[in-house]
Structure 1
């Protein structure tokens, strides 16, 4: 009975962690819930009990934190409610296995009794976040480090060790609090916590980058095209007219439309329409960036692409990191039938090249990423430090009126922090936003409205440590800690033999 109540308590703590993320931004809340989780783990008698508690915490976190996926599967994917619920439960079980395994290993007797336990649980948990961010193309959503962007002192470390480094420090300090609660007089647990948070505050005062050139005016367009109407042939003309009107009313040197804002293939866009886009951009002394699907060399090859028109030579960016089952079918012979259940247009895109260069737009080097791609910070830096600005185009209409679009906004805020670059987000229904190089949201459009977000943005040059080294430093530290943990366990086993 005691084990069941602890598991339920852990699940509740996971649920209470969700307001630590956007749109609530209560960044101290995850510190508290993770510290209480640490206390529960410390009281676990066996690794299995600890694994159950870690799993239960994650089940609460993901069960509520990604519940918006039901909207994608049922409301817009036409999946029957029972199947949508089952799919969501299975996903949450899969995601929860990673923290559960980390908690179980950390609770091996030799590790739990060691003074380095806070470091070990932080290393294992962070490694589990990284692992679920790379396996099967990855799903790193709700890594706990995101909850600290942009205001928490720990966000000061993002430009050095990225979101996984921030996760590591958050869990380290939380588990340190759990140990400090056991031994109030033991400074070994208390002092590092204070030092880490003060150091983060100090790092927030530093800048690794410098302004590059003059600011430029931008217009980020939000068409607010309902997802259930977007791909209907009788609504295509309405979409084209909506964006044409928004473009004509925009004064930005860089005008950006959302991901596949034009529901047709690029060769189907009339030349007269292209000319209007091109001429308007040239009058503004800049460029217009629009999203369309693009056919490849064969009938079954097509890409999610952004095209530019204006004073610069015409360029394009093809999406590289695709969403499983939403944009491509993994193991098509096995899972191909899923597409027959899900009503998702163009559900098997081809993958763009990894080695794409920033676009030269409105006199700036601009790194483009499309929708889900900005969840992968280690891939965003492929176009840096050459790029002066970051652009994310998305269609978060799939998430409906949920917390999903706001969580996606916070992910973009973390990318801005990691790279020291402005992030410009143009989305179909929101959150369309201008984010500065410190991850602060400067301007937004109201969600589910049609309009243009006009503002002035500054390009930056230079490279943060994260841009230079990516996840290498934090993964290296984790490796050393896991090696130290292994030595601790083997030493204890030898003594018991």
Structure 2
């Protein structure tokens, strides 16, 4: 009897395997159909977004101008190079004025790219702060940069969004996006870059004092990350609904001697006093908020999403990304960065203004399409366009990466099923 049991056991096993094998094709089809369902859902949602998108369904629009200076890389050795810095300031002023004139006085916002005025700040030393703090501010403050910003704001009656360095509370500095108001020609708000590049913008372990790595990497900046995803405001002093009949602003005369004042902010203010506003302009005035992104922060979806899910802060109506890819020349990294930033416009359902120091500079719509011909790497020029403001809530805003994790989990499960069940078809070893 014992021998007969031993002989019959392989028969039971073969019977079990045969039964499972009959169901193997069913599991294979489940895996195939499951994968098809995921693809259909993903492409179906994308098609739905495309078909439902209506450019006319917006909350008004703003006219945004930006320029691309295509400077040489701002190596640390250039920090005290007067010729390099003067050349950068000269391009900032001239391209800024060219942008204003290109828009024929209809510009609402002027965007300058990252490092358009390298190494410096427009924040004058705060006389109410400590002597040590004022000394740190003086290291960064440039009256020339400050004067140029006042000139552009007052001359074109535009809010200016620009990149600068600001003093951090601890050791180091912030890489910041700041807004200068057109009416007051004052800095109104700043956002500090939160995602820094290791060995590019900071050295690991370098917080209150220099890192032991500093002698080996002297070119690395001493930036400190910001703490908050802070939407920044811009004041629209003219009709945000922008009918075609809107009358352009009459630009004041710009005399050659005006350019000699660009080291004296007070003199520029006196030359271009705050413009008066009509009652219609006051009635139409409103504040628009945007999500500021410095350089490669645009590659991190959750960092961008953080601007849109804060209950106690206004929801941005557009995205502005100031960037600097001059280090990569005309190589693939420039195009990869641009493509990654494009995805953020799609995820958030917002127009994105992307001002790059050396290209690619463009404007993406909520479907990721470039609505303005991109300025190519190395090109030096300006662009201006009407940018619609949107307030829709997208699926990615609500759920973040949950759907990505869910679909990934389903795919892994289907892979496990496909890998495990075919092995049951193998005949047992005698």
The answer (yes or no) to whether the contact 2:172–2:224 under 8 Å persists in 1 is yes
User: In the TM superposition, what is the alpha-carbon distance from 1:237 to its structure 2 partner?
Assistant: 1.5
* Aligned match for 2:297, one of 368, 373, 378: 373
Compared CA separation, residues 197 and 265, structure 1 to 2 (3 A): closer
Compared CA separation, residues 293 and 491, structure 1 to 2 (3 A): same
Compared CA separation, residues 118 and 487, structure 1 to 2 (3 A): closer
Within 2, Cα distance between the matches of 1:426 and 1:314? 20
**SS of 1:430 mapped into structure 2:** coil
Q: Which has the higher helix share?
A: 1
The answer (yes or no) to whether the contact 1:260–1:293 under 8 Å persists in 2 is no
Within 2, Cα distance between the matches of 1:273 and 1:191? 56
* Aligned match for 1:246, one of 75, 92, 95: 95
Compared CA separation, residues 225 and 476, structure 1 to 2 (3 A): same
1:201 aligns with 2:29: no
The residue that corresponds to 2:11 in the other structure is none
CA RMSD of aligned residues (A): 3.8
Within 2, Cα distance between the matches of 1:288 and 1:210? 26
The answer (yes or no) to whether the contact 1:208–1:420 under 8 Å persists in 2 is no
The residue that corresponds to 2:61 in the other structure is 215
**SS of 2:390 mapped into structure 1:** strand
Mapping 1:32-431, distance limit 5 Å:
197=43, 200-207=46-53, 211-227=57-73, 232=78, 233-234=80-81, 235-251=84-100, 252-266=107-121, 267=137, 268-271=140-143, 273-298=145-170, 300-311=171-182, 314-331=188-205, 336=211, 339-342=214-217, 344-346=219-221, 348-362=222-236, 363-384=287-308, 386-431=315-360
Deviations 1:256-297 (A, max 9, x none): 111132222324434464244234324434311121111223
The answer (yes or no) to whether the contact 2:115–2:357 under 8 Å persists in 1 is no
User: In the TM superposition, what is the alpha-carbon distance from 1:416 to its structure 2 partner?
Assistant: 0.9
The answer (yes or no) to whether the contact 1:422–1:459 under 8 Å persists in 2 is yes
Within 2, Cα distance between the matches of 1:359 and 1:117? 55
Deviations 1:17-53 (A, max 9, x none): xxxxxxxxxxxxxxxxxxxxxxxxxxxxxxxxxxxxx
The answer (yes or no) to whether the contact 1:256–1:426 under 8 Å persists in 2 is yes
The answer (yes or no) to whether the contact 2:305–2:348 under 8 Å persists in 1 is yes
The answer (yes or no) to whether the contact 1:218–1:254 under 8 Å persists in 2 is yes
The structure that has the greater radius of gyration is 2
User: In the TM superposition, what is the alpha-carbon distance from 1:114 to its structure 2 partner?
Assistant: 8.6
User: In the TM superposition, what is the alpha-carbon distance from 1:374 to its structure 2 partner?
Assistant: 0.5
Within 2, Cα distance between the matches of 1:406 and 1:451? 19
TM-score (norm 1): 0.56
User: In the TM superposition, what is the alpha-carbon distance from 1:213 to its structure 2 partner?
Assistant: 3.3
Deviations 1:322-355 (A, max 9, x none): 112212223459x956554445341x31110134
Compared CA separation, residues 355 and 429, structure 1 to 2 (3 A): closer
The answer (yes or no) to whether the contact 1:210–1:461 under 8 Å persists in 2 is no
Deviations 1:434-462 (A, max 9, x none): 11121101221132122222222111112
The residue that corresponds to 1:467 in the other structure is 397
The residue that corresponds to 1:20 in the other structure is none
User: In the TM superposition, what is the alpha-carbon distance from 1:469 to its structure 2 partner?
Assistant: 1.4
The answer (yes or no) to whether the contact 1:210–1:462 under 8 Å persists in 2 is no
TM-score (norm 2): 0.63
The answer (yes or no) to whether the contact 1:381–1:470 under 8 Å persists in 2 is yes
The answer (yes or no) to whether the contact 1:325–1:339 under 8 Å persists in 2 is no
Within 1, Cα distance between the matches of 2:179 and 2:345? 23
User: In the TM superposition, what is the alpha-carbon distance from 1:414 to its structure 2 partner?
Assistant: 0.9
The aligned length equals 318
User: In the TM superposition, what is the alpha-carbon distance from 1:310 to its structure 2 partner?
Assistant: 2.0
Within 2, Cα distance between the matches of 1:116 and 1:225? 60
Within 1, Cα distance between the matches of 2:168 and 2:42? 50
The answer (yes or no) to whether the contact 2:202–2:220 under 8 Å persists in 1 is no
**SS of 1:236 mapped into structure 2:** helix
List alignment gaps of at least 5 residues for structure 2. 1-20, 101-106, 122-136, 237-286, 310-314
Task: Considering Cα pairs closer than 8 Å and 6+ residues apart, tell me whether 1 or 2 has the greater RCO.
Answer: 2
User: In the TM superposition, what is the alpha-carbon distance from 1:429 to its structure 2 partner?
Assistant: 0.7
1:446 aligns with 2:320: no
The answer (yes or no) to whether the contact 1:281–1:309 under 8 Å persists in 2 is yes
Q: Which moved more, 1:460-469 or 1:289-298?
A: 289-298
Within 2, Cα distance between the matches of 1:390 and 1:294? 22
The residue that corresponds to 2:388 in the other structure is 458
